[in-house]
Amino acid sequence: MTMKTVICIGMAGSGKTTFMQRLNSHLRSKEEVPYVINLDPAVLNVPYGANIDIRDSIKYKKVMENYQLGPNGAIVTSLNLFSTKIDQVIKLVENKREKYEHVIIDTPGQIECFVWSASGSIITESFASTFPTVIAYIVDTPRNTSPTTFMSNMLYACSILYKTKLPMIVVFNKTDVTKADFAKEWMTDFEAFQTAVRDDQDINGENNMGSGYMGSLVNSMSLMLEEFYSQLDMVGVSSFTGEGFDDFLDAVDKKVDEYDQYYKAERERIIKDKEEKEKQRKEKSINGLMKDLGINDKKKANEDDSADVISDLEEGEYDGLVEADEDDYEGVEREYTFAGDARQGEINSDNAPDLQQRYQEAFEKLGKPASSDTAANIARHIR
């Protein structure tokens, strides 16, 4: 069973939290209980049970008071604090891989606080690098019946797609109020959208907007979005009635296949490029350090010698210099070659005074004049 992640993003008032509630109950009705995560620190109540809730570890009001921030700044700061522990969150989710098939994530209503912040990118990339991840962009259907508003929302969706580089499903919510048929037509028929734009301008008494700057801008964006729509799946749902959620889950499965085929390979290529650049940076840094220390010149001076110097023997990848990780030494016990109580040779705070005493006695013994018998023995060995 493959665990898949759905990150719900949308404008304030688009119905993300209600969508999460309905998706949660719909999956439970199919006996596919999801793993639910809430990343909105400012919400007072959520209509679903969350397995991981940012409010359990981050107190939104305390962040505002302690850092003297406004609402949006406190949300960004709360996400920043939470993202410092994202590795622990990923481990918790990974431990449930065999039990859950879906991970659904609710994000703050202030969309820019999540999408454009560093913490939002960290959280998104952490999940995307571990599980097949899909972005569900929630749209308020009744508010997008105007072509200009619709276009603005699609441009925002376009920016999120290219920001996250993840498969996206545009979810037209609240279809119980307004059907999403018009949106599907506008996304598939360029001429129908152009007609809707002209009709909208006529209704508002702006007949002169069909030409000039505004007209060319609308036409250019429409042509660009037509190509953009080919990368999207569009689904109409009603969080109030539950209509369309089977179609949404089918779209998620389709996007997971797309993730495995395209996005996963692209992400692996990006990670590999980053590792290669980091490797080159480290090698350049080490070479610069060796040059500053004159190690290369020393090697040239000794290249005719029969014995290699230490720097020659260790030369290679990173030249033997490896950054140690403190975690590597936790819980690690030393292994000793010699039989018996080998720890008597270990230097620590307990035997340091005794070791100093032995050094002193040895020094005093070597400092005494040699006796005649000792001199005779030394002479005999020299012969």
What CATH number is associated with residue 28?
Answer: 3.40.50.300
- Which spans in the chain are helix H? 16-29, 60-67, 71-83, 86-94, 111-115, 118-128, 147-164, 181-188, 190-203, 212-229, 245-258, 264-293, 295-301, 310-313, 352-367, 372-382
Separation between Cα atoms, residue 201 and residue 144, nearest integer Å: 15
Is residue 369 a part of any domain in this protein? no
The reported pLDDT for the residue numbered 353 is 59
What tokens does 296 get?
């290369």
Separation between Cα atoms, residue 141 and residue 122, nearest integer Å: 30
Is residue 358 a part of any domain in this protein? no
Separation between Cα atoms, residue 198 and residue 36, nearest integer Å: 44
The pLDDT-based confidence of 363 (bands split at 50, 70, 90) is: low
Separation between Cα atoms, residue 162 and residue 107, nearest integer Å: 18
Q: What is the pLDDT of residues 136-193, one digit of tens each?
A: 999 999 999 988 888 888 888 988 988 888 999 999 999 999 999 999 998 888 888 8
- Listed range (56-60, 106-110, 214-218, 222-226) with the worst mean pLDDT: 214-218
The reported pLDDT for the residue numbered 344 is 46
Cα 255 to chain center, whole Å?
Answer: 19
90 touches 75 (CB < 8 A): no
For residue 211, what are the domain limits?
Answer: 4-268
Is residue 206 a part of any domain in this protein? yes
Residues in CB range of 109: below 8 A, 6 or more apart: 10, 11, 12, 13, 16, 40
Q: What is the pLDDT of residues 201-212, one digit of tens each?
A: 766 655 544 444
Is residue 280 a part of any domain in this protein? no
Is residue 335 a part of any domain in this protein? no
The reported pLDDT for the residue numbered 85 is 92
78 touches 41 (CB < 8 A): yes
Is residue 146 a part of any domain in this protein? yes
361 burial class (0-12, 13-18, 19+ CB within 10 angstroms)? exposed
* Tokens 């679903």, located at residue: 48
Is residue 364 a part of any domain in this protein? no
Count of structural domains within the chain: 1
Cα Rg of the chain (Å, integer):
33
Which whole number is the average pLDDT over 82-95?
Answer: 93
